[in-house]
A and B are shown apart, each in its own frame.
Chain A
């Protein structure tokens, strides 16, 4: 961490200790201090509400399928639709964050998708059901704004923790909804006395209101960056309003973004797939009743309370000692073990063994998600949003692919599908071996001699852009990310920069 005279002067108004970019260097969970911790709480709560809305239908399906005369195929297609909308929405969200800031981007998306949840209450046919699930699923793109916002508010030393907690507690919504929606439904059905087919419709207003409220909270209480909102910072010249095509270009030409998109498809994508199929699996294979199957399904999602954050925290802890190389190794090992456990899950034949394996599997696969977003903030500074969006979108692609290949039709039994999914997780985790940062190294190779963080992050800006000083934020980030060298590298002398452009002093 660089402690210069400058940052000490500017420290004045922050409740938490900050670095030169004014990003918090500590994470205090029970604080609501603006802007850092408030941003954290706003982001995880709004993401949680989007997950609740997206997966609000599955626990009420026994009633909805009778009301709308759905077949198993209709239900399967709606489930795939719910996760496929977010593929492109996540990439678009990443771009929007880079250009407009996470506050506007996320509150806009949440308000745009809230009508889909409200209109679920008046759906009258299988086609309408598919449409509302499809459009509601777009709201899962708030994941990207969550991660982007955390990466803007928290320094490299704690970014894994912040990302893991906000992502994990948001994902919790997928488990919580399996408990919330049946409860709300039975309150309306028994206490208010509505008929079954009306009660489920009224129940959907709850997630819809929650989602709308969270959008308002973000807009009025949130702030894009520690120093203010994009709009204000751009007007004052502190932040340069970036160029979309350049941002996009630098994201798609960074191979690390593509590798992480693939590997995230096989931790988060697997998590989404399991959310959709696991209740049915326990119901059909072990003959538990639907209520019990729902509780088991909920427990898979609820493990996110500690497992995804655990992955993020682990990433930060390992980085303190071994830097980025440690983050990469831990990610690969945890995801491989997750794949092995998935393989095992399909093979065990007894109910109690299945539940036990499923719980351990959930911890590893969700930790892998947290570990992935310990690496993502470092892939690019200029195109952080689009890279986050690509990775997030890759997660949903993985979910769609996996469900289409292994869990549709009767080609494979569900247990065969689960085992094969485990094999696919292990194969698709191998590309992590090829991620290499010249300044820090990769899993098998050390850093290139003489390569610095500044070289890496400033290569995203052209000379013309640098002359105009547009790259200032990347310079600060480069300096702050020296912690990724690990214990050994951090005490090494800073190689003299051959870059001494006189015009960067502003």
Chain B
């Protein structure tokens, strides 16, 4: 009885997810073939370097009817497992609504059956981390229907590093140090003033 209740609960849970429209990553077919250049081991600078991405349908695994339901494709920059360690705000969750693995969309276009290639300059707000590239195909209800990625299932191959900008500028550094010095010098000034006042009073 308990076992039956458990199974029906799990079944209902998944059904409710589908009814709610929550898509699970594990349910998606890997219909796309995605390749990104530069590849493994390279360090790219945010704001300067570019990534070239090629994507096309994976002929062997695609289903014809599925194919017709794709309305648009988004290509995203995703965190590799090593950059997710001890960082819950980047965690991977099967429920794609709660998944935080892929936080940057680098390309968003209507679906085209042909192979596509595009270039993307790494934007200045991309933080320093290890990444891979993943593409999602969406249906007209904006639900993920298929995916493709540059790395393997374990997310251990073809990872590349992006070095983010520091956000610091020489002018900021100078201003910051000058005002700190000003604060400390004012303090010395206060003590001298106080000493002078006490001498005057006596």
Question: Which A residues have a C-beta under 8 Å from some C-beta of B?
Answer: 62, 65-67, 69, 71-73, 104, 107-108, 111-112, 114-115, 118-119, 121-122, 124, 195-198, 200-202, 205, 208-209, 212, 215-216, 219, 231-232, 235-236, 284, 287
Contact = CB atoms under 8 A, between A and B. Distances in A.
Given A118-B179, A287-B98, 9 more contacts: A65-B89, A71-B85, A104-B190, A112-B184, A121-B175, A124-B168, A197-B124, A231-B194, A232-B197
A109 to B, nearest CB: 10
A50 B129 CA distance: 34
Contact of B86 (A73, A108, A118, A124): A73
A69 B169 contact: no
A195 B165 CA distance: 10
Nearest to A228: B201
A107 B172 CA distance: 26
Q: Is the interface of B mostly helix, strand, loop or mixed?
A: helix
B172 A198 contact: yes
26 contacts: A65-B87, A67-B127, A67-B166, A69-B128, A71-B86, A71-B87, A72-B88, A107-B190, A111-B184, A111-B190, A112-B184, A115-B179, A115-B184, A119-B176, A121-B175, A195-B167, A197-B124, A197-B125, A197-B164, A197-B166, A198-B172, A201-B167, A219-B190, A231-B201, A232-B197, A232-B198
B186 interface: yes
B124 A195 contact: yes
Residue of B85, B176, B202 most packed against chain A (CB within 10 A)? B176
A202 B87 CA distance: 25
Interface residues of B, number: 36
B48 interface: no
A130 to B, nearest CB: 15
B177 to A, nearest CB: 8
A71 B128 CA distance: 12
B166 A235 contact: no
B183 A231 contact: no
B173 interface: yes
B180 interface: yes
A235 B196 CA distance: 13
Contact of A198 (B86, B167, B187): B167
Contacts of A119: 176-177, 180
A112 B187 contact: yes
Contacts of B177: 118-119, 122
Given A67-B127, A197-B167, A212-B183, A122 B86 contact: no
